Amino acid sequence: MVSLWKQMFVEHPQSVNETYFEHLIRAFTFTFLMISGGIACLIHGLVPGLFTRVGSRTINHLFQCMVQNRDGTQGPNGGETSFSESDVTDST
């Protein structure tokens, strides 16, 4: 029983150099970013001129945070993921 608890709540966060609560906050942050990016993509599908780069920026940011910066030097809020005027109006 202790082994299962340790495997579920201790080993994985340690494998990415985080405590349980650091991992929880990071996972919730990623969840918010993925949901908000997905909503922007949904809106973009309906109105192609809106949120033209939010999806790709969100994916790139999450990739940098999850894969390239696993050592913890850049937190989940270290890059640009918010919706800006250029995301809504830029068609490139």
Res. 89 pLDDT band, cuts 50 70 90: very low
Question: Into how many domains does the chain fold?
Answer: 1
Tens of pLDDT, residue by residue over 6-46, are 888 999 899 888 999 999 999 999 999 999 999 999 999 99
> pTM value?
0.67
DSSP-derived letter for residue 74 is: S
Full domain range(s) for residue 32: 2-89
Report the distance separating Cα 88 and Cα 75, nearest Å.
26
Report the distance separating Cα 81 and Cα 54, nearest Å.
7
Report the distance separating Cα 30 and Cα 33, nearest Å.
5
User: Which comes out higher in pLDDT, residue 75 or 27?
Assistant: 27
